């Protein structure tokens, strides 16, 4: 309310100043006709000024600001994969019995273009990634997530998080999986119904991980060749991947 009151005072002051200047002009030149002509001309230009300043320039500035926020968010996504995402994706993909059906779409090459990434993304959306829960060590995943709990909490506190819907959903899915695992007193000898429930939580995180990973790789390919080079050499879907440059 104070801010609105301050704005009203400034607006009224500017209008009064304008009237005062017009009055001073009249006192000096005694030419109301001239004042009227230029006043109408100024008023006629107001809609165009609103279009240029309020709509076009504001939209350009907003778009630029949004790109800056997304760029910062991509740095956060990179930190996520460096800290825990790549390792988690590697482990879950090893327990995916149908990975070979789609694996070729995940072996990204240095010569990939935007078209290649779009084709890969379209193919992956048609494939339902799912792990074999019998090959998953729930204790190991739980320990891994708990070790990174503080890191995940800091990511969730990022004010730009809502700008990146896929990454936001991924963090929520991983956090939910961690809560499901820690809520159980023991993770051995769970009934089949409970294992099926946990498999669904893991699959959700797994699918979102792959989606976000491919999007992040596309971003690196466009803007950060040196980071993209390392990401290629540590591709979680390439069993022969090695950070050593050969």
**Comparing C-alpha atoms, which of 44, 127, 69 is closest to residue 93?**
127
pLDDT in tens, 169-218: 999 999 999 999 999 988 888 999 999 999 999 999 999 999 999 999 99
The pair of structure tokens assigned to 105 is 């779409």
Mean per-residue pLDDT of the chain? 84
Between 236 and 36, where is the model more confident? Answer: 236
User: Cα(115)–Cα(113) distance, rounded to whole angstroms?
Assistant: 5
**Comparing C-alpha atoms, which of 17, 80, 92, 71 is closest to residue 220?**
71
Region 61-88: mean pLDDT is 80
User: Cα(235)–Cα(199) distance, rounded to whole angstroms?
Assistant: 24
pLDDT in tens, 24-63: 767 777 777 666 776 666 666 667 766 666 666 666 666 6
Residue 109: exposure state from Cβ atoms within 10 A (0-12, 13-18, ≥19): exposed
pLDDT in tens, 89-143: 999 999 999 988 888 888 898 889 999 999 999 988 888 889 999 999 999 999 9
Residue 21: band (very low, low, confident or very high) from pLDDT cuts 50, 70, 90: confident
pLDDT in tens, 6-17: 777 777 787 787
74 and 216 Cβ atoms separated by less than 8 Å: yes
Q: Which of 92-96, 195-199, 229-233, 238-242 has the lowest mean pLDDT?
A: 238-242
pLDDT of the residue at 1: 47
Backbone φ and ψ for 143, nearest 5 degrees, come out as: -65, -40
pTM (2 d.p.): 0.73
Query: Over the range 70-86, which residues count as b (16 or more CB within 10 Å of their CB) and which as e?
Result: eeebbebbbebbeebbb
Residue 114: exposure state from Cβ atoms within 10 A (0-12, 13-18, ≥19): exposed
Region 139-152: mean pLDDT is 93
């Amino acid at each position: 309310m104070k801010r609105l009151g301050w704005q009203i005072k400034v607006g009224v002051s500017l209008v009064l100043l304008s009237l005062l200047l017009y009055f001073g002009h009249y006192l000096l030149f005694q030419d109301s006709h001239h004042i009227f002509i230029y006043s109408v001309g100024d008023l006629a230009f107001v809609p165009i000024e609103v279009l240029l300043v309020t709509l076009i320039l504001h939209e350009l500035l907003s778009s630029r600001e949004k790109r800056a926020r997304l760029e910062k968010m991509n740095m956060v996504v990179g930190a996520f994969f460096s800290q825990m995402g790549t390792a988690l994706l590697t482990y879950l993909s090893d327990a995916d019995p149908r990975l070979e059906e789609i694996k070729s779409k995940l072996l990204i090459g240095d010569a990939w273009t935007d078209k290649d990434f779009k084709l890969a993304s379209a193919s992956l959306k048609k494939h339902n990634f799912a792990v074999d829960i019998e090959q998953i060590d729930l204790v190991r995943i739980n320990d891994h997530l708990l070790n990174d709990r503080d890191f995940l909490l800091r990511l969730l506190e990022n004010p730009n998080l809502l700008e990146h819907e896929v990454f936001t959903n991924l963090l929520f899915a991983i956090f939910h999986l961690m809560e499901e695992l820690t809520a159980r007193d023991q993770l051995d000898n769970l009934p089949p119904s409970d294992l099926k429930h946990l498999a669904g939580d893991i699959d959700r995180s797994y699918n979102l991980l792959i989606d976000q990973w491919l999007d992040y790789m596309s971003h690196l390919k466009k803007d950060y060749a040196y980071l993209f080079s390392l990401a290629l050499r540590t591709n979680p879907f390439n069993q022969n991947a090695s950070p050593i440059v050969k």
